[in-house]
Amino acid sequence: MAEITVRLANGEDDIEAARALCREWLDWHWENYPSEWPRGDDHPMNPVGFETILTKLPDLHKRPLGGILIAWVDGKPTGCVMYGEARPGIAEFNRMFVSAGGRGHRLGRKLLDHMLKQMTADGYSRVFFSSASFLTHARAMYEDAGFVPMPHPESFPEEWRDKVYFMERALA
């Protein structure tokens, strides 16, 4: 039986583990990305821009209003998710990923449940996220966790509206 731990990142080694998982996520994304979808320098998953985001992870998800959670299987980092304040009382999460070596342990759901408890402890009353519609394997997990569809923000680019969905749920 595998030893599974989910906890908030604590220190530079954990931040580097989260960055490595995010890089693996980026590689996975592009390997599975639909060929007919938009590409280009302004793409949210553009490797250059994504690397810039990775350098800012500690500030983007700084405690006490944010967090980086890492799942460990037998002492190896195998999954992550990150959140921060979108508006007072409302959190947004992103970069949910479970590596190939961590699949089959329900780590996605464990990360999600741990994060929702932490968000509640941090004082949030609602949470939302966005995801690409081609990532169908995750949507059922989100629905099972109580997330419901929400409208796209008004400023959301038209070319992405059929490719990205938003979901939300109350906390507590």
pLDDT (tens digit per residue) in 29-55: 888 888 887 787 777 788 888 999 999
pLDDT at site 20: 97
pLDDT (tens digit per residue) in 61-76: 999 999 999 999 999 9
Name the least confident of 31-40, 66-75, 103-112, 160-169: 31-40
Instruction: Report the CATH number that the domain containing residue 123 is assigned in CATH.
Output: 3.40.630.30
69, 94 contact by CB (below 8 A): no
Position 9 pLDDT exceeds 90: yes
Residue 45 vs residue 141, higher pLDDT? 141
Position 121 pLDDT exceeds 90: yes
Domains contained in the chain, number:
1
Average pLDDT, the chain: 93
Residue 42 CA to chain centroid, in angstroms?
20
Instruction: Kindly report the pTM of this predicted structure.
Output: 0.93
List the domain range (segments joined by +) for residue 64: 4-170
67-73 β-sheet, strand order? 4-8, 67-73, 76-87, 90-98, 126-132, 164-170, 148-150
pLDDT at site 110: 96
CB-based contacts of 40, cutoff 8 Å, min separation 6: 46
3: tokens are 């030893």
